[in-house]
Amino acid sequence: MKTLLPLLLLLCFAGLWACQEPVDSIPIPYTPKMVVESYLNPTEATIRVSLRTNEPMVGSSDASIITDATVTISDGQQTVTLPFHGDDYWIGTLTNAKIRLRAGTTYTLKASAPGYESIEATCTIPTRASNLRWRIDGIEYIQDNRGYRVYNNYLLVWGGNIPTERQYFALGRQWAYADTLQTTSGQDSVFNGIQTVWDHFETDDVIRNNQLYARTFMGRISGRDSTIRNPRSTDLLLMQFDVNAYNFLKASQLQKQNGNNPFAEPSLVPSNIRNGLGVFGAVYQRRQTVP
């Protein structure tokens, strides 16, 4: 931000005469579309499909949940209609269903609802990558004017064979935090939350040929030989996707990350939903809690 500041100030200088006003003479095209989110995971016992609607960018809008849709999923031989579960998603329990989720199989999702174009999407579940593991790779101390921050470095190690088809991964971290904020009454208020950071979206060849690290915060110390105060644990996240989910989530993260950067190119989030938005993809999730 320190680097951006001179540029922004310079822009302000140029805008001495600038005026701004709402525009209603140029419509932004908007078509109500179903937004699908469904990630097939062969290791889970359910298929879950979330259906929402997109909201117009301009103007006012209310809730965006679709509740009156018909949602089916097919593996090419059998078709299952998923019942509405409540909240905002449809769910099918695989133990009773006619279809099973298997790697290498292509599934088709269809949905229709009054007021929307019917949507359709396909997804092929990839083969699960094996022999991927995190290896601790040393502790790092970073000094600041309040002492030292201590980090653990974890290296992702690829121990398996080279896959015959390209594989897609995301590497991230998730941790719980507590923060304090002074309220207007002068009292400290404590906030608890969960923070997730995705460090890498990469393909298998990049993981095999490069050393991808995740750095986890362990705590703060006053000197190198001190005890860590308020130690924190972190979950290392590793997700494997099919190409559709990978492209969708990678672009989504990039858009979120660039949200406040006026110098960034727009991030267009791709979709494999015909006549709709969102993603119908596949995922394998791994999680490892580290101190």
Residue 15 is given by DSSP the state G
Name the minimum Å distance from CB 99 to another protein: 20
Q: Does 122 bind another protein (CB under 8 A)?
A: no
Using the rule CB under 8 A, which residue among 130, 131, 143, 187 binds another protein? 143
Rounded Cα–Cα distance for residues 176 and 289 (Å): 12
Q: Does 253 bind another protein (CB under 8 A)?
A: yes
Q: Does 223 bind another protein (CB under 8 A)?
A: no
Q: Judged by CB, which is closer to another protein: 41, or 118?
A: 41
Q: Does 227 bind another protein (CB under 8 A)?
A: no
Rounded Cα–Cα distance for residues 35 and 117 (Å): 11
Span interacting with another protein, options 10-18, 108-116, 156-164, 223-231, rule CB under 8 A: 10-18
Q: Does 171 bind another protein (CB under 8 A)?
A: no
Q: Are 125 and 283 in contact (CB under 8 A)?
A: no
Cα–Cα distance list, 66 to 83, 109, 113, 114, 131 (Å) = 13, 16, 8, 10, 41
Q: Does 288 bind another protein (CB under 8 A)?
A: no
Q: Judged by CB, which is closer to another protein: 204, or 242?
A: 242
- Length reported for the chain: 291
Q: Judged by CB, which is closer to another protein: 75, or 235?
A: 235
Does residue 146 sit in helix, strand or coil?
coil
Instruction: With residue 35 as reference, give the H or E element that holds it.
Output: strand 34-40
Specify the amino acid at residue 25: S
**Subset of 20-59 contacting another protein (CB under 8 A):** 20-26, 28-30, 33, 35, 37, 39, 41, 44, 48, 50, 52-59
Rounded Cα–Cα distance for residues 128 and 186 (Å): 53
Residue 284 has a CB neighbour count (10 Å cut-off) of: 23
Name the minimum Å distance from CB 277 to another protein: 6
Residue 158 is given by DSSP the state E
Q: Does 237 bind another protein (CB under 8 A)?
A: yes
Q: Judged by CB, which is closer to another protein: 25, or 96?
A: 25
Specify the amino acid at residue 123: C
Name the minimum Å distance from CB 141 to another protein: 10
**Subset of 79-108 contacting another protein (CB under 8 A):** none
Name the minimum Å distance from CB 110 to another protein: 19
Tokens at residue 13, please?
A: 């200088």
Q: Does 181 bind another protein (CB under 8 A)?
A: no
Name the minimum Å distance from CB 238 to another protein: 11
Q: Are strands 34-40 and 277-290 parallel, antiparallel or unpaired?
A: parallel
Does residue 270 sit in helix, strand or coil?
coil
Q: Does 145 bind another protein (CB under 8 A)?
A: yes
